[in-house]
Amino acid sequence: MVRFRFAAILCLAGLGCLIATSAPGPQKLTSFDSRANALLAKMTLDEKVGQMTQPDQLYLKSDADIANYYLGSVLSGADSDPKEGNSLEAWANLIDRYQKRSLETRLAIPLLYGVDAVHGHNNILGAVVFPHNIGLGATRNPALIEKIARITALEVRATGINWGFAPCVTVPRDIRWGRTYEGYAEEPDGVKELGAAAVRGLQGAGLADPLSILGCAKHYAGDGGTAYGSSTIGPHLLDRGDTRLDEKTLRQIHLQGYLTTIRAGVGSIMPSYSSWNGLKMSGNKRLLTEVLKEELGFEGFLISDFAAIDELPGDYKHKIAMSINAGMDMVMVPERYQEFIARLKEAAQDGTVPMARIDDAVRRILRVKIAMGLMDQNHGQLADRQLWKQFGSAEHRAVARDAVRQSLVLLKNEHGTLPLSKSAKRIHVGGKSADDMGNQCGGWTISWQGQSGNAMPGGTTILQAIKKAVPKETKVTFALDGKGAAGADAGVVVIGEKPYAETAGDRSDLSLAPEDVAAVDNMKAAGIPVVVILLSGRPMILDKVLDKADAFVAAWLPGTEGDGVADVLFGAYKPTGKLSFSWPRSMAQVGVHRGDPNYNPLFQYGYGLSW
Ligand code: BGC
C-alpha cells in the first residue's frame, strides 16, 4: 500500500510516473490469503477446476461457457483476434463481453485475460511496437525497459486485457534457436536486471494499480539451453528441446532471471515446453514445486505453455495429473477445455490429484486476482476506454524511438563514414528491409510468426525515416537491389532476416540470404561509402559483406519506430548499444561463450563502437 501511494503522488506528473516505482518492494501475495481462503471455502469442485482452466477464445464453443465452466482465464494466442476484427474497439468489446459473463457467475470471480504483449501490445493494429528483447538487451538500460513495459501495460489495459505473457527471461545459449531475439542476453547478468525492470513496468505501482497488468516470467527454466538436435517439434533443432545440464549450472545460468523477477513481485510464471535432462518442465516437480515455490518462495501461480501438457506421457488424465501434481496451477489448454475440466475433476474425485493440491493452485490464482483488485467493485474489470487516446500515441512512439537508438550496436565505422552528412546531395538506399515494416518488427507482430510487408500501421520504416531526417535539398533514391547508386554521396543497405517466431525460426545456417549479399555488392560496385544495417533476430555470419561495408550497424528487430535508426545514422544520437550476444565469425563458433578456452568471436559480448 505504501508503495502504491508513493508512486501515485509522482504519477501526477504524467509519464514521469512510469519510472517512479523504486523501493519499497512489492506487497507479499500471501498477505491476501485471508480473503483468498474465505472465497476458496465457498467454492465447489467445478468452480475450483474452472479457475485452473485457460482456453483460447478461438476455441470457445460459446460465450456462455465462461459461466458454464466457471473459467478462471481465457487467452488470445498470437493469431487469435476477435471475429469482429483487430481494432482497439473490437478487442475491448470482446474482453468486456467475456468479463461480463464471468461477473454473472455465483461468486463473480473475474477473468484473467492473457496475451503475448512481448514488445508492446504487438498483436493489435496501431499499437506501438518496441524493439524485441535482443535489442533492449543491447541498451543495458533498466530504466528504459521499465518505461517501455509501463507503456505496454497501458496499451494492453486500453483493450481491457489484464495479463501479459512477458517478460521472457530466457538466456539463449545457441543463436540457431528461433527464439533467440526474445532474450535480452546470452549471459544471465544481461537478463537479471532487465527482466526485473520489465516486471516493475508491467505490474506498475502494484498489482492493484488499474494501469498495471499481471506479468509472467517465462519460460521456466532452461528454454534457451536446449541441446542442438534435441527438439521435439518442427525441424527438430532446438525449440522445445532438452537442456542437459547439472542442477548447479542450470541454476547459475537459467534460473537467475527468476530470482530477480520473483523479487520484483512477478505474479505468474510460465514453465517451459522444454525438458531438463529428459523430463519435460510441465511435469517437473523438482523445479516447479521444490525449487520455485518452496525454495525461492514464489507466491504467484504457474501457467502452463500452450498445450504444453499434451507433450507429457500417458493419456490425457495422466498428463493433467502429472502436471498439476508437479505444481502447475493453471493450464493453457487451449482447445479441449471441456475434456480438460472433466478429466481434472475425475482426478480430483478419485484422489489422483489431492484436493490439497487443487486448493493450493486455486488459492494462488485467487491471491493474484485479489491483489489485482479484481474482486473489488468496479475496479478495472472492464476496458478503460479513456486510455484509447494514448494507444499508439506520439508520446509512446517517442519512447520507442529512444529505445531504437539506444539498441543499435555499431560494429564497424571506417573513415568516419558515420554519421552521414545531412548536406549530402544524394543518398541511395537499398535492401529488402529498408522499406518493410514487417521485417523491422519481426515475429510476434500482428501474427504469431510475423510477416514481411506493411501489416502494422503507424510508425516509420527506415527509408521513410531517412527521408524525414534529411533536408529537402538532399535526394533520397531507393532500389531494392541496391543498383543505381553511382553518383550518390553514400549508400545505406538494409538487409537481414524475414520474420519468424518459435519453432519455424530454428536454423542450422545463419549465412546471409543471397539477395542481401547482392544488394551490398551492387551498392559497393558504385564506389561510394556504404553503410550496412542488419535487421535480424540474432547475430548472423557476415563473411560475405563485412569487408564491403564501410560502416556496419546491428539494428536487431527495432519495431515500428524507424526514426530511431535515422537518429544514429545522421548523428543526432551517438551510438551507445553494446552486444548482449557474442558475434561468431563462422557457424563453428555458435554456442561458444565467455569463459570457454575456444571463445574467439568476431565481436565479443559487450562490444560496440561510438564516435
Ligand atoms: C509460447 C509462449 C506464449 C504462448 C501463448 C506459446 O507457443 O511458447 O511464449 O506465451 O504460446 O501464446
pLDDT band at 19 (very low <50, low <70, confident <90, very high): very low
Nearest 5°: phi and psi at 128?
-80, 130
> Of the residues 305, 516, 563, 567, which is catalytic?
305
Res. 6: pLDDT tops 50: no
Res. 74: pLDDT tops 50: yes
Query: pLDDT digits over 541-577, tens only?
Result: 999 999 999 999 999 999 999 999 999 999 999 999 9
Nearest 5°: phi and psi at 96?
-60, -40
What value does the mean pLDDT take over residues 284-290? 98
Question: Domain boundaries in the chain?
Answer: 45-390, 408-589
Query: pLDDT digits over 335-357, tens only?
Result: 999 999 999 999 999 999 999 99
Task: Give residue 353 CA to ligand 1 midpoint distance, Å.
Answer: 26
Q: Is 218 in the pocket of ligand 1 (CB under 6 A)?
A: yes
Closest CA to ligand 1's atom 11: 306
Task: Give residue 502 CA to ligand 1 midpoint distance, Å.
Answer: 9
Q: Is 115 in the pocket of ligand 1 (CB under 6 A)?
A: no
pTM of the model: 0.96
What value does the mean pLDDT take over residues 162-174? 99
Q: Is 305 in the pocket of ligand 1 (CB under 6 A)?
A: yes
CATH 3.20.20.300 matches 45-390: yes
Partnered with residue 330 across adjacent β-strands are 303
Q: Contact at 8 Å (CB) between 52 and 31? A: no
Architecture of domain 408-589: 3-Layer(aba) Sandwich (3.40)
Q: Is 56 in the pocket of ligand 1 (CB under 6 A)?
A: no
- pLDDT mean across residues, the chain: 95
Q: What is the pLDDT of residue 17?
A: 40
**3-class SS at 23?**
coil
Closest CA to ligand 1's atom 7: 306
Task: Give residue 75 CA to ligand 1 midpoint distance, Å.
Answer: 10
What value does the mean pLDDT take over residues 404-414? 99
Is residue 305 part of the annotated active site? The answer reads yes
Query: pLDDT digits over 508-535, tens only?
Result: 999 999 999 999 999 999 999 999 999 9
Per-residue burial over 521-547, b = 16 or more CB atoms within 10 Å of its CB, e = otherwise: bbbbebebbbbbbbbbbbbbbbeebee
Query: pLDDT digits over 452-480, tens only?
Result: 999 899 999 999 999 999 999 999 999 99
Percent of the chain with pLDDT over 90: 94
Q: What is the pLDDT of residue 378?
A: 79
Query: pLDDT digits over 290-338, tens only?
Result: 999 999 999 999 999 999 999 999 999 999 999 999 999 999 999 999 9
Closest ligand 1 atom number to CA of residue 219: 9
Q: What is the pLDDT of residue 377?
A: 85
Q: What is the largest CA-CA distance in the chain?
A: 80
pLDDT band at 23 (very low <50, low <70, confident <90, very high): low
Q: Which residue from 116, 231, 269, 280 has its CB within 8 A of the most atoms of ligand 1, so it is best to mutate?
A: 116
Closest CA to ligand 1's atom 5: 77
Q: Is 306 in the pocket of ligand 1 (CB under 6 A)?
A: yes
Percent of the chain with pLDDT over 70: 96
What value does the mean pLDDT take over residues 245-261? 98
Task: Give residue 220 CA to ligand 1 midpoint distance, Å.
Answer: 12
Task: Give residue 305 CA to ligand 1 midpoint distance, Å.
Answer: 6
